[in-house]
Amino acid sequence: MLTDEAANWYKEEFDGETSLRFFARYGGNGNIPGFSLGVKPAIPVNMHASVEKEDTLFFIEEDDAWYFEGADLYISYDEVLEEPAVSYQKK
């Protein structure tokens, strides 16, 4: 799930990019220890999952599907920190 507020934040942060990829990034603390969620502008090649919000495509490629297995990704907007809040709900 991606809230409209979080989608707007990403759109502003990435200067209006219309296609953003979520991917497994080495380092940090995320769904799997030692990895965290990365975000970058990209054109989809082999999408695993996607959602369109605020005229922007947010997607995960098949290559990164392993990182999201067994958990649902939730991205909301933290009003206090003024940035997206990422969480994973085990299935």
Q: Which domains does the chain have, with CATH numbers?
A: 4-90 (2.60.300.12)
C-alpha to C-alpha distances, 86 to 1, 15, 19, 75, nearest whole angstrom: 10, 21, 19, 5
- Report pLDDT for 90: 83
CA dist., res. 70 & res. 73, Å (int): 10
Give yes or no for residue 31 having a pLDDT over 70: no
Output the pTM of the full model: 0.89
CA dist., res. 22 & res. 41, Å (int): 9
- Report pLDDT for 16: 87
User: To 10 degrees, the CA torsion angle through 16, 72, 51, 9?
Assistant: -20
What are 25's strand-pairing partners?
A: 36
